[in-house]
Amino acid sequence: MSETLLEVQDIRTEFSVSGGGLFQPKRRLRAVNDVSFTLRRGETLGIVGESGCGKSTLGRSLLRLIEPSAGRVLWQGEDIAGLSPEKMRLKRRDMQMIFQDPIASLDPRMTIGDIIAEPLTVFERSLSKAERRARVLDVMDTVGLSGDMLNRYPHEFSGGQAQRIGIARAIITRPKLVVCDEPVSALDVSIQAQIINLLQELKRKFGLTMIFISHDLSIMRLISDRIMVLYLGRVVELSEKSMLFADPKHPYTRALLSAAPVPDPKTARARQRIMLRGDPPSPLDPPSGCAFRTRCPLAQERCAQRVQELETVAEGQEIACEVVAGSL
């Protein structure tokens, strides 16, 4: 059994939003709702769900780029949720993030060399200018960038090149954990494959542990070891990748898989698409009990009575659905 690197216990992230009128009180939007999981060293955990389900907020909350409202985040056994800003800044040497928009995540006023070197100026101040430059050139070569790009600016690069710059910046301190927040969703399909292959190669080379956030299950099949499915801020299924694709249990997971594109036209035509009724409810006014019940084809009266907790239905597979769990 691999070492547990990260343990998340009932993390919750809320935002205060306007009530909609001049004299209406502010309301609380619960973007991440009591999420718990563990992450083993060297593992890639995929987080998937519809837009607005809380995936990116969860990723940022783990690194305290957004402050969680409640819960615990244990990094190698130490609770980092209550660390001071200075102590948390030191922890970020081992915890880095790759963002969705590669161009927007790079400072347009800085050269590529300075952008990639910035973590070294924070965490390895003893390095000389020559040593820092050598480290930058080495990591640029590792991610497939030419050294003659060192003094160019972000606007001179394509989206795929810009994402390689972001990856170089994230791994230059050799972090233990990298959170990838939809790092390929803004890229062309052919470039997506290149970036996925690069991340897999970096994982093998440096022993990285990753959290990979995406709405695309076909990408999750390529890169993840386990997959966590979110719906309206809650985990509805947490499963080993092979089990989730072979035998998804939760009705929401089944619907997501039925909508995922497949390369074989015959398979695509023969597959039965699961159409969910209605739209996702607002996180400002979630339904009682199971949040998915208003769209679920298996919903029963009892689903409205209480929140469904994760329950183990097979080794390596947990779901939050009493109806399905009770029938197994």
Q: pLDDT digits over 265-276, tens only?
A: 666 566 677 778
**199, 191, 230: which is closest to 52 by C-alpha?**
230
CA separation for the pair 151, 113 (Å, rounded): 6
What is residue 104's predicted lDDT score, i.e. its pLDDT?
87
More confident residue, 268 or 42: 42
Q: Which residue has the tokens 């019940």?
A: 293
Model confidence at 162, pLDDT cuts 50, 70, 90, reads very high
Average pLDDT over residues 231-235: 94
CA separation for the pair 155, 143 (Å, rounded): 19
Residue 303, SS3? helix
pTM above 0.85, yes or no: yes
Show the DSSP H helices in the chain as ranges: 55-62, 85-91, 112-123, 129-142, 159-171, 189-206, 217-223, 241-246, 251-259, 265-270, 322-327
Burial-class residue 93 by CB neighbours within 10 Å (0-12, 13-18, 19+).
Answer: middle
What is residue 16's predicted lDDT score, i.e. its pLDDT?
87
pLDDT at position 235 over 70: yes
Average pLDDT over residues 111-128: 93
Longest pairwise C-alpha distance within the chain? 68
* One-letter amino acid of 316: G
What is residue 187's predicted lDDT score, i.e. its pLDDT?
86
Of 99-108, 210-219, 263-272, 283-292, where does mean pLDDT reach its minimum? 263-272
Q: Which fold has domain 4-18+27-94+175-249?
A: Rossmann fold (3.40.50)
Average pLDDT over residues 112-123: 93
Q: How many CB atoms lie within 10 A of CB 241?
A: 19
pLDDT at position 204 over 70: yes
- Tokens for 168? 């170089």
What is residue 273's predicted lDDT score, i.e. its pLDDT?
74
- Tokens for 165? 């710059």
Q: Mean pLDDT across the chain, nearest whole number? A: 90
Q: Which helix (H) or strand (E) holds 180?
A: strand 177-181
Spatial contact of 245 and 221, defined as CB atoms under 8 Å apart: yes
pLDDT at position 85 over 90: no
pLDDT at position 250 over 90: yes
What percentage of the chain exceeds 70 in pLDDT?
94
What is residue 216's predicted lDDT score, i.e. its pLDDT?
87
Cα–Cα distances in angstroms (integers) from residue 308 to residues 109, 115, 226, 232, 293, in the given order: 49, 45, 21, 13, 10
**230, 125, 103: which is closest to 173 by C-alpha?**
125
CA separation for the pair 16, 283 (Å, rounded): 12
Average pLDDT over residues 114-119: 94
Model confidence at 281, pLDDT cuts 50, 70, 90, reads confident
Residue boundaries of the structural domains of the chain: 4-18+27-94+175-249
Model confidence at 5, pLDDT cuts 50, 70, 90, reads very high
Model confidence at 224, pLDDT cuts 50, 70, 90, reads very high
What is residue 286's predicted lDDT score, i.e. its pLDDT?
87
Sign of CA dihedral 253, 256, 258, 263: negative
Average pLDDT over residues 134-150: 95
